Amino acid sequence: MLFAGFVVLCVIYVVAFERFPSGDDNATTAHALLPYQVLFRDLPAPEQRMFRGMQEGAMEVLAARSSDGAWPSVDALAAGGIPPFAPDLLDKSRLVWTRRDDGLLHQYVGVPALSGAPAYLISIVEPVPVTGEKAVPGVVDEEHQLLGDGTLLHVTYWKHFGDVPGDPIADPAQRGWSQIRVKTPLEEMMEQQP
């Protein structure tokens, strides 16, 4: 009976600490992320710099798509000096960027010339023309971006250590990639509440 009581108390203790964190923000943040997600603020400085360049590049890609109706090539982006596609003296991994398309999936993939450095991926998914997700006025978050015509796109950023396949990556999380986020989904949801 004593042993059974001890086991029950241990289970209550563990459940209580999982349900009610100790106030440590890192513990709370870790619980709010999915297993394949990492936060920008937890990345090393070179990876943070690359992520900022990827965000800037993605905004330029979306602006070009809105104005021209086509996804810009890596060569055009590099010629325009748009990071991360343009050569960068501080990029020690010497990323080689390519664009991969598969129907409504468009990806810009940066593969390092040096082994041991991470590869990066900007993944853009267009909605299915008739039945796809529709934009909700005022709701644009970290993973949803609007084109000039109001088309709602899913835009995500990823990093990966190891071999990178040559084909578009439909589900990067299933292939070992880590999604880079600025905020946890919970933090983002709390900000959107009135």
Residues 137-148 pLDDT 10s: 656 678 888 888
How distant is the alpha carbon of residue 66 from its chain centre? 21
Pick from 15-19, 25-29, 59-63, 117-121: least confident: 25-29
- With 90 as the cut, is the pLDDT of residue 56 above it? yes
Provide the angle, in degrees to the nearest 10, between the axes of the packed helices 25-32 and 185-192: 90
What backbone phi and psi angles, to 5 degrees, belong to 152?
-90, 120
Instruction: Give pLDDT, residue 16.
Output: 58
Among candidates 143, 152, 93, which has minimal Cα distance to 123? 143
Q: Name the one residue in this structure whose structure tokens are 């090393």.
A: 44
Instruction: Give pLDDT, residue 28.
Output: 47
What residue spans define the domains of the chain? Answer: 1-32, 36-192
Burial of 11 (0-12, 13-18, 19+ CB in 10 A): exposed
As a whole number, the mean pLDDT across the chain is 84
Alpha carbons 57 and 22: distance in angstroms, whole number: 39
Beta bridge partners of 95: 112
Compute how many other C-beta atoms are within 10 angstroms of the C-beta atom of residue 179: 19
- With 50 as the cut, is the pLDDT of residue 189 above it? yes
